[in-house]
Amino acid sequence: MPALSLPAALPPLSSRRTRLWLLLVAGVLATLTILHFTPGWDVEAQSTLGITTLIMMAIFLAALACEYMDSSLGMGYGTTLTPLLLLAGFEPLQIVPAVLLSELMTGLTAGLLHQRDGNVDFLRDARARRTTLLLGSLSGVGALLAVWVAVSISKFWLGLFITAIILAMGVIILATRNRQVPYRAGGIVAVGAVAAFNKGLSGGGYGPLVTAGQVVSGLPAKHAVAVTSVAESLTCLIGVLGYLAAGKTIAWELAIPLALGALLSVPMATLTVRRASEAKLRGVVGICTLVLGGVALMKLF
């Protein structure tokens, strides 16, 4: 019977994907290791790209880990990766366009694989499509409002307000993780506007707000994670086009290992979401929302 075939199909899919994923990751790491020990390669890479193969490997692994968290929980890629790259000595104008470009690519890829793995059905679920379009369309508006308001509102109080929202959502998600919450499109619109505004003003904080806001507004956690991936890719597209229109360039030496590591994390992340129970995923999303909100609060003070 069709209803009984799905559980039987899960192990082969998981096994095949895991083997292929391990092969690809090992191939990238082996290639970078060989290049590192090739005489003269690191000197040439340092002079032309500005980074060595070991730094490329570190960027690749960091993107792999951060995007796995982002594509499986709907949050954490830019929030975690950007400070790490700053600590590594990269300039903000190198980091932000490269991170946005990698998020654009991985967001679309994650949306396709979430669809493929049955975590969401954008083709048949009008609610998921409507939520994605609502959040995506708010991106440009949020960015424009952020530019207008940034000159007149204290970033401290704005950051405190947004952090309070994130912490409150984390508490609500954990308090209602075993309950079915009615879907509220109005709540998603409000949260999407604040998240897009925050993204336009600070360059981060989109995922925790949008993912948690969808769950609080009644969307299943698996749907929320998938929708966030696609909606954020639209936000990143606007950001990349904005940088290019302003005459900025993409730091390809940073963008390529970021995109490669992030893309390779997506197949395992969507598979993780597929195998997780709804209540468990909601609990993890709630905890991560609280943690990221706590980190944001510590940064403010």
Q: Distance of CA 236 to CAs 55, 99, 108, 124, 266, Å?
A: 25, 9, 11, 26, 17
Q: Distance of CA 175 to CAs 121, 204, 286, Å?
A: 27, 26, 9
Question: Can you give the C-alpha Rg of the chain in angstroms?
Answer: 20
Residue-number span of the structural domain to which 261 is assigned: 2-300
50 Cβ neighbours under 8 A, 6+ residues apart: 253
Tens digits of residue pLDDT in 147-159: 555 455 565 776 6
The ranges of the chain with pLDDT < 50 are: 1-10, 150
Q: What is the DSSP string of 259-289?
A: HHHHHHHHHHHHHHHHHS-HHHHHHHHHHHH
Query: What's residue 4's pLDDT?
Result: 40
Query: What's residue 5's pLDDT?
Result: 41
For residue 109, which of 229, 203, 208 has the smallest C-alpha distance? 229
CA 235 to chain centre: 11
- Its sign, for the CA torsion 225, 230, 236, 242, is negative
Q: How many residues does the chain have?
A: 301
For residue 289, which of 167, 176, 194, 203 has the smallest C-alpha distance? 167
Token pair 């490329």 is found at: 56
Q: How many domains does the chain have?
A: 1
Residue 95 identity: I
Query: What's residue 25's pLDDT?
Result: 92
Decide: pTM greater than 0.85. Answer: no
Q: What is the DSSP string of 155-177?
A: HHHHHHHHHHHHHHHHHHHHHTT
Contact 201, 158 (CB under 8 A): yes
Q: What is the DSSP string of 85-125?
A: HHHTT--HHHHHHHHHHHHHHHHHHHHHHHHHTTS--TTT-
For 82, other C-beta atoms within 10 Å of its C-beta total: 18
Q: Distance of CA 232 to CAs 27, 63, 102, 198, 261, Å?
A: 29, 17, 11, 13, 18
- Its sign, for the CA torsion 47, 48, 51, 56, is negative
